[in-house]
Amino acid sequence: MHLNNHMDFSYVADIYVGNNPPQKIRALFDTGSANTWILNKKVKAHDLHFAYNDKTSTTAVQTAQKAYISFGSGSLSGHFYLDDFRIGGCEFCQSTSQILIKSQKFGNVEKEDSIFRENFDAIVGLAYPNFAEKGITPVFDNM
């Protein structure tokens, strides 16, 4: 996996979500949160952003669970989804191996305010599971 280091302030890498085909998303790895949130195509912040389209993934399942989260820089909200999640490998490096997590639960960002203004389309929470929303297992705890 190739991580882009942005002035030792943030780390961004490509992940892939869904199937037929997996959708490329640029993820910010965040040590201050435990949930994963992915920008939905309907609320794409800029044309430069990638976004998750639950309608094109054959494995997407919307859950009834939803949440509103406030960060220091803004807020977001949406339903939680289950879908396949891939991390690792990259388009331009020698490694092609990826870790596949079947039916990872993540937040599908349906509304956002001032979060996705930079070079990422998702937030992958790296914090401990007890900081996650009820019923959510963080990505790295599912690996």
What separation in angstroms does the CA of 103 have from each of 42, 109, 143? 22, 17, 12
Q: Average of pLDDT values for 135-140?
A: 93
In single-letter form, the type of residue at position 137 comes to T
For residues 1 and 62, the model is more confident at 62
- pLDDT of 76 above 90: yes
Task: Give per-residue pLDDT as tens, 24-44.
Answer: 999 999 988 999 999 998 886
- pLDDT of 59 above 70: yes
Choose among 112, 27, 45: nearest CA to 74: 112
Among 3-7, 15-19, 109-113, 136-140, name the one with the lowest average pLDDT.
3-7
CA distance 143 to 141: 6
Relative to beta strand 74-87, strand 4-6 is unpaired
Q: Average of pLDDT values for 122-137?
A: 94
